[in-house]
């Protein structure tokens, strides 16, 4: 018979994000943050594997929606909130078949994202269509 695990899940709350940077090997994104753990403010570092970064962002947005920060229609699930950024710049990527976008936020953080040039062209068409309406 296996013994039951009586450990309680770790409850922590991120109080402030101080920095975000890629790991030296490029495999992860390192976040430096201040967190509240058991009522005490502590510094911590969080490594998010690059492959998991989009999932983490979507999960955080969904949690905000669950918390009621997004108004939803009656009987419809709430639409998750969007990240609000100051601007987006396009720059050349190391791979000539891709375009690199830099999303700049008001707290000074920048989120890089890359896509194929074909996807970038589709984005341009979508933006043109949206801006016409």
The pLDDT tens digits of the residues spanning 75-96 come to: 555 555 667 788 999 999 999 9
In the chain, what percentage of residues exceed pLDDT 90?
26
In the chain, what percentage of residues exceed pLDDT 70?
77
Q: In what order do the strands lie in the sheet with 28-37?
A: 12-22, 28-37, 40-49
pLDDT mean over 111-117: 89
Instruction: Decide if 1 is inside a domain.
Output: no
Tokens representing residue 103 in the block: 């999303």
Mind listing the pLDDT tens digit for each residue in 38-67?
778 889 888 888 888 777 777 776 666 666
Which residues constitute the domain of residue 38? 10-69+81-129
pLDDT at 1: 47
Instruction: Decide if 21 is inside a domain.
Output: yes
Instruction: Decide if 74 is inside a domain.
Output: no
Contact present, 46 and 31 (Cβ < 8 Å): yes
- At 29 the three-state DSSP class reads strand
Number of domains into which the chain is organized: 1
């Amino acid at each position: 018979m296996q013994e039951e695990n009586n450990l309680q899940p770790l409850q922590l709350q991120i109080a402030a994000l101080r920095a975000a940077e890629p790991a030296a090997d490029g495999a992860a994104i390192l976040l430096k943050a201040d967190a509240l753990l058991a009522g005490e403010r502590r510094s911590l570092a969080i490594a998010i594997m690059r492959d998991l970064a989009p999932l983490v962002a979507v999960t955080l947005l969904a949690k905000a929606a669950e918390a009621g920060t997004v108004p939803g229609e009656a009987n419809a699930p709430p639409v998750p909130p969007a990240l609000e950024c100051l601007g987006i710049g396009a720059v050349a990527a190391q791979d000539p078949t891709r375009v690199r976008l830099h999303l700049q936020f008001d707290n000074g953080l920048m989120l890089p994202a890359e896509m194929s040039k074909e996807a970038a062209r589709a984005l341009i068409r979508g933006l043109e269509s949206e801006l016409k309406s």
